[in-house]
Structure 1
Amino acid sequence: MKHAALILIAAWLAIPAAVAGEAGTVRYTAFAGDGTRAGHQLVEHGDDGVTRVDFIFKDNGRGPELKEEYVLAADGTFARYRVEGASTFGAPIDEAFERSGDRMTWKSTSDEGEGEFMPGALYSPLGGTPQASSVAISALLARPDGRLPLIPSGTLSARQVVELEVAADDGRRQRVQLLAITGIGFTPAFAWATTGDAPRLFAFIYPGWVRLIEDGWHANGDALEQRQTQAEGEALADLQRRMAHPLPGTTLLRNARVFDSEHARLGEPADVLLRDGRIVSVSAGGTPSREADHIVDAAGRVLLPGLFDMHVHAGRWDGGLHLAAGVTTVRDMGNDNAMLAELIAQERDGSLLSPRIVASGFIEGESPMAARGGFVIDTLDKAKEAVDWYAANDYLGVKIYNSFPRDLLPDTIAYAHSKGLRVSGHVPVHMLAREVVEQGYDEVQHINQLALNFLATHETDTRTLERFYLVAKGAGDLDLDSAEVREFIALLRDRGTAVDPTLATFEFLHQRNGQPSPIFAAIEAHVPPDVQRSRRAAQMDIPDDATGARYKRSFDNLVALVGRMYEAGVPVVAGTDEIPGFTLQRELELYVQAGMTPAQALQVATWNGAKYSNMLDDRGSVAVGKRADLVLFDGDPTVDIADVRKPALVIKGDTAYYPAELHEALGIKPFAEPVRVQSKEAR
């Protein structure tokens, strides 16, 4: 499970946690995408009226461990609730809610409060287990208006998408229903529930990544995932139809200041003519008007080539946030291969709201802490088979992961290069970054993997949370002027090894409880209250102010390290591995903090993205013959990088999107008024 997927699941888990039912036990097993057992949930409904839940999920050496208990009031809402344990990255969780008469109190890792109880409302815990949807499901389906108010804020609603009959291992049969639950996060959450008078959670499926299914019914997993994928596809196709504005024929963008991404400078006003998704001319602004099927009056606004996010793990619902931020191409850095092939096909046929997807294939080594995605290998022959498959399926490259056997690495790199594939990734366990660069990596992902070159040893088990805590504790003391650091930077430069630092993602190293995630700090007022609340919870164990200050100093030094690498000539690409759109905007702000000019940061997110995706002949600059992947901004992000949050129009080939429309559809307050395309008929 990758970081972005974990964030999405965490948002889903914020549905209030409770279950309606008599005394007894319900067991669930969690499976990773390849069918490997990854955790469990045990729900015990006691004769004393207390429900106790034990939950654990582990993937890639990390995951939550939670103990939860609660008592329901007569109306089915919480009378008392408590959850304790550790979050995915080890932050302690100790959360409680209590209702006494008409008063209530709560305290979470994000907030606390007290006040008059809202009759019929349900407390929404931040640290809850997957049991979290059961009482919400039961309450929603029992309400005449189908709406469930939440504490401290928000309202849930749900609709039945499909109903199926399933069979248990012992021959029992029952009906289950797929629900689309809205009111949390930016997109619907899907959950399978039982039917009847007291419905409860039956299964939670994140297609391609994880399944949590009630014991005895696991054989239904494939059928449930297939039907859920179909239902989500239909909903997404409808969203694409509503958000996409086709541009057949010719489109003229008048009086746009075009960003020269090759040289990182802003040009004079120009007129840009598009035809059927391609750029056919770029001429001086104010030239005699030519006839076009569509006109855009840029009115002096800044026009950039579409942005690249070079580190995603593509999900079906990510496209709206990407496109609203002007991201028209993403590089997938590891996924369920079958699901990714489906996403790519749907994007290409126009049925999926999505940026273009460039694929890099995931290869992991077999171990108890292996991430279960792509190919998991334990021999060189299997590694070569994985490389062959990726080469045959037009992947850009391969990504090596934490448990990859170090003795197989040199031959695997050489074989991938012989097939024309780039090689990138994490640093395999018991190796250092210098070694993978010397052995032929074309790119290293994540700033922590680079910093561990100076902080880890060959004995450090970087498959565990140590790969985060060692950096948080020690990076602040790293002397960037030392010979060791300067020599490593020179090695990266001389080898032409690119770095994908994902700095914004790693701000979780220093975020404290109650503080907004730096990704959202500047835009909190624009996102729904439940998103604000969920993004004010720490992910790391930071027990005191001194530790917090140390972790912040370490992060600041990581930012400075990226600046040193860029200044020395090390290629940098802009990736995120976190929530789409907003994270890339924060990433570019951090590059400016590291010492780049705003124009240089934008160059990294455009020209460099295309260059290190082997696509400079097709995109990455506003030039004749290239794809018409373009973003028109309010303000001037080449001067103030914060203006990168203000796209007013996005064009992806022969289709226009209005970021304001996309944001409104996702429950987000828009950042800029749309610049609309005028058709010939309307003029």
Structure 2
Amino acid sequence: MKPILAFCCALLLAPSALAAETLKYVALVDGGKQAGEQTVTVGDDGTTHVDFIFKDNGRGPELKEEFRLRADGTFERYQVKGASTFGAPVDETFTRDGDTGTWKSTSDSGTHTFTGTALYTPLGGTPAATSVALAALAKQPDGKLPLVPSGTLTQRTVASMDIASGGKTQTVDLLALTGIGFTPSFVWVTRGAEPRLFAYIYPGFLQLIEDGWQGSANALEARQKTAEREALVALQQRLAHPLPGTTLIRNARVFDSEKAVLGTAQDVVVRDGRILSVSPVGLSRVAADNVVDAGNRVLLPGLYDMHVHAGSWEGGLHLAAGVTSARDMGNDNATLQQLMAEEKDGTLMHPRVIPAGYIEGQSPHSSQGGFVVKDLAGAKQAIDWYVEHGYPQIKIYNSFPKEILSDTTAYAHQRGIRVSGHVPAFLRAQDVVEQGYDEIQHINQVMLNFFVTPETDTRTLARFYLVADKTDALDFDSKPVQDFIALLAEKRIVIDPTLATFEFIHQREGQLSPIVADVADHLPPDVQRGRRAAEMDIPDDATGARYKRSFDKLVEFTGRLYRAGVPLVAGTDELPGFTLQRELELYVQAGLTPSQALQVATWNGATYTRTLDDAGSIVPGKRADLVLVDGDPTTDIADIRKLALVIKGGRAYYPAEIHEALGIVPFAPALRVRPAR
């Protein structure tokens, strides 16, 4: 749902020390479609002005930024105003007077006493922001730049390229910046005493590059992917621990995901990435090479996150959360194919990926990725490609032509694959169910059924604000609502609610996102700060209270769906490694038992990805994708965060070790695999 958020987080730095001139950047999304631009102008008084706009999939930020720099290249004065991706107001200032710095944003404020060079990091800044950081960092003799309110920025050169355009040539360097967020941010940078951002590339999604150099963007992206892959291979080699021979997991309480019950302690033997046997404690006759003393801990099948947009750097976060299988719900096809190949050959630390083939329709609002089609012939060609590449389903998106929907779903079923998606603009959820959908993504797409008219364009932010405004007043016991629930149950339409994602509709400025609120002390300070920024425009307390009541009713509605027999799958479409746990907590809040919520995240995930023959439960012959919990999530779902060991693909991963590598305070000690004695 939010690749642009990853983009903004990767650039959470500050604007540019330029010569007295105007510099323009263009933002291109997959296929070269321009989706935004940035203009940076230095005035005669030394003040830099930045205008930035980015619009993709009917949303995106619009920002105006202004700042002056000190002699050391850091901010003396800074201001940014505008609107965030989902329309929340952005209004942030920073000033430094002597050794005292003061900042205020819509979500936080504070002061800082400076003892030397340090750079304020704007919460809502533009991509141009990286340039100030790069120039200031270049001046630091130790290669480290302290950040305000917290953190330290460092850089490492990982690649260089000579590029040419219009008779001009230059060499640009690819830097890996660390010290913000969980993983490195990669930026292309000019050379010289005052280096600046040249290009920011999010492979498969976005290319932000200096105007006039667009022809070099694809070559830069290809080189960056190679450099990132080398870093990712090294990370996998460091954090993945092979399990040669036979491994005995002794004395573990095994969760029966088919029946949603926790069994008595058993011994589980795995070999070559498969479950060899499950037997009462002490009765296994297999000679083991490795042993895990589970100590009566709970053993779960590997979890499924049923709604991700897979990225290579997210794998560690997923695995540390026990997610061993992830369904990709829309991506650049070439990028996803490469990611899947790297995961399969064991060089990429990542869950197994089950792909959903993304099909969008042509319009000014089109989301780029997968295939963008204009007619039935194009839709059939896309389906054929996905079938030939082993995709078990397709995902239809917002601008898909409603006139060909029924024929498209029929053709997909004829080719043997499932159909899921958003509800295309100017239709209701009931319409897509009647025209052949097997599954609907997002609780808002379901709830809009009661709020849209034939004229409502849900490709805009209306698809969020209508639900926030109107759900509070909807009578769930009314005949239209009851009839719709009955239709979903009768047709066994799967719902992928992504409830935790939609908590943003009620989050107020300064409040921690509920996704991380209970575990904030485990996160790096800059991540905590970023998670206090609201995404929706909530102008007053009355509106905020109504939006909160609306969200609570979304949770209630999900529980009603489940009790009516509508299948659920647990997806996130948000921060990897933390959102799935919150999603399961919300299912329990909706009335599911913890064991039922775990069943949704295991058995249901395998069922509706068509992988149940190979995964989703702990029985001999299935993959040894296993999660050992230092607690009992069948009685307290919050214990799902306390993972001691994850096994996937014949390798052991220690969540505590991964978390420490990513700057996260571990939730439970690692339980090590030991050689058998």
Report TM bin, short chain.
over 0.9
Q: In structure 1, how many angstroms separate the alpha carbons of the residues matched to 2:62 and 2:643?
A: 40
Whole-Å separation in 1 of the counterparts to 2:45 and 2:8: 30
The yes-or-no answer on 1:507 pairing with 2:499 is no
Q: 1-side partners of 2:37 and 2:132: how far apart?
A: 19
1:13 aligned residue: 11
SS in 2 for 1:232: helix
Match of 2:191 among 187, 192, 195: 195
C-alpha deviation, 1:13, in angstroms? 2.2
User: 1:21, CA displacement in angstroms?
Assistant: 2.3
Q: Displacement, 1:156?
A: 0.5
Q: Secondary structure at 1:23's aligned position in 2?
A: coil
Equivalent residue letter for 1:601: A
What secondary structure, in the 3-state scheme, does the structure 1 residue paired with 2:288 have?
coil
Paired with 1:517 and 1:69, the residues of 2 have a C-alpha distance of 28
Q: Within 2, Cα distance between the matches of 1:21 and 1:241?
A: 41
Aligned partners of 1:7 and 1:579 also within 8 Å: no
Instruction: Decide whether the 8 Å contact of 1:13 with 1:126 is kept in 2.
Output: no
Q: Is the 8 A contact 1:18 1:78 kept in 2?
A: no
Aligned residue identity for 1:493: A
Verify: 1:56 aligned to 2:48, yes or no. no
User: In 2, are the aligned partners of 1:109 and 1:126 still within 8 Å (CA)?
Assistant: no
| 1:165–1:86 CA distance, 2 compared to 1 (3 A) | same
Deviations 1:587-636 (A, max 9, x none): 00000000000000000000000000011100000001100000000110
Question: The residue matched to 1:167 in structure 2 has which SS?
Answer: strand
**What amino acid maps onto 1:137 in structure 2?**
L
Tell me which amino acid in the other structure corresponds to 2:582.
R
CA distance in 1, matches of 2:246, 2:239: 20
Give the distance between the partners of 1:378 and 1:136, measured in 2 at CA: 44
Give the counterpart letter for 1:385 in structure 2.
Answer: Q
Note the alpha carbon deviations across 1:52-77, whole angstroms, 9 max, x for none.
00000010000000000001111111
**Is the CA contact (8 Å cut-off) linking 1:83 and 1:128 kept in structure 2?**
yes
Aligned to 1:143: 140
Match of residue 291 from structure 2 = 295
3-state DSSP of counterpart to 2:160: strand
Query: 436, 454, 461: which is aligned to 1:465?
Result: 461
Is the Cα–Cα contact under 8 Å of residues 74 and 132 in structure 2 kept in the other structure? yes
Deviation at residue 163 of structure 1 after TM alignment = 1.4
The answer to whether residue 79 in structure 2 is matched with residue 82 in structure 1 is: yes
**Equivalent pair of 2:138/2:193 in contact (CA under 8 Å):** no
Query: Shift of residue 280 of structure 1?
Result: 1.2
Match in the other structure for 1:344:
340
Q: CA deviation at 1:289?
A: 6.0
* Residues 55 and 129, structure 1, Cα contact 8 Å, conserved in 2: yes
Work out whether 1:33 is the aligned partner of 2:36: no
Describe the superposition over 1:310-354 as per-residue Cα deviations: whole angstroms up to 9, x where unpaired. Answer: 000000101000000000000000100000000000000000000
User: Which digits, 9 at most, give the CA deviation of each residue in 1:63-97, with x for residues without a partner?
Assistant: 00000000111111111000000000000000000
1:9 maps to a residue whose letter is: F
- Counterpart of 1:286, as a letter, is G
Give 1:368's aligned residue: 364
Match of 1:67 among 54, 61, 64: 64
Residue 97 of structure 1 corresponds to 94
3-state SS, counterpart of residue 406 of structure 2: helix
Determine if contact 1:7/1:578 at 8 Å carries over to the other structure: no
Give the deviation of 1:290 after TM superposition.
4.0
Q: Secondary structure at the match of 1:541?
A: coil
Give 1:118 deviation, angstroms: 4.0
Residue in 1 aligned with 2:159? 162
| Residue in structure 2 matching 1:490, options 479, 486, 492 | 486
Name the amino acid aligned to 1:73. Answer: R
Instruction: Look up the SS of the partner of 1:522 in the other structure.
Output: helix
- Kept in 1, the 8 Å contact 2:112–2:148? The answer is no
Q: Which amino acid aligns with 1:276?
A: D
Asked whether the 8 Å contact 1:194–1:202 carries over to 2, the reply is: yes
Are residues 1:624 and 2:620 paired? yes
- CA shift, 1:47, in A, is 1.1
The aligned amino acid for 2:17 is: A
Tell me which residue corresponds to 2:443. 447
1:435 corresponds to? 431
- Does the C-alpha gap of structure 1 residues 288 and 394 become closer, same or farther in structure 2, counting only changes over 3 Å? closer
Give the deviation of 1:458 after TM superposition: 1.3
Cα deviation 1:576-597 (Å, max 9, x = unaligned): 0011120000000000000000
Map 1:119-518 to 2 at 5 A. 119-168=116-165, 170-287=166-283, 290-518=286-514
- The answer as to whether partners of 2:138 and 2:194 remain within 8 angstroms in 1 is no
TM-score using structure 1 length: 0.98
Instruction: Give 1:18 deviation, angstroms.
Output: 2.1
The separation in 1 between residues aligned to 2:656 and 2:100, in whole angstroms, is 40
Aligned to 1:586: 582
Aligned mates of 1:677, 1:24 — CA distance in 2:
60
- CA–CA distance in 2 between the matches of 1:208 and 1:14? 20
RMSD of aligned residue pairs (Cα, Å):
0.9
How far apart, CA to CA, are the structure 2 residues paired with 1:649 and 1:547?
44
DSSP 3-state at the match of 1:193: strand
1:413-435: CA deviation from partner (whole Å, max 9, x where unpaired): 00011111100000000000001
Distance 2:37 2:95 in 1: 27
**How far, CA to CA, are the matches of 2:635 and 2:5 in structure 1?**
32
- Matched ranges for 1:527-606 at <5 A: 527-606=523-602
Overall identity of the aligned pairs, in %: 65
2:640 is aligned to 644
Deviation at 1:126, TM superposition (A): 0.8
CA distance in 1, matches of 2:4, 2:116: 33
> In 2, Cα distance between the equivalents of 1:288 and 1:251?
12
Q: Is the contact between residue 563 and residue 594 of structure 1 (CA under 8 Å) also seen in structure 2?
A: yes
Please list the CA deviations of residues 123-148 of structure 1 after superposition, one character each: whole Å capped at 9, or x if unmatched: 10011000011011112122111111
Structure 2: give runs of 5+ residues left out of the alignment: none
Structure-1 separation of matches of 2:611 and 2:18: 57
Which SS does the other structure have where 2:204 is aligned? coil
Cα distance in 2 between the residues matched to 1:6 and 1:645: 27
Distance in 1, Cα, partners of 2:113 & 2:369? 47
Aligned-pair CA distance for 1:288: 5.8
Equivalent residues of 1:28, 1:40 under 8 A apart: yes
TM (norm. structure 2) is 0.99
**Counterparts of 2:112 and 2:41, CA distance in 1:** 30
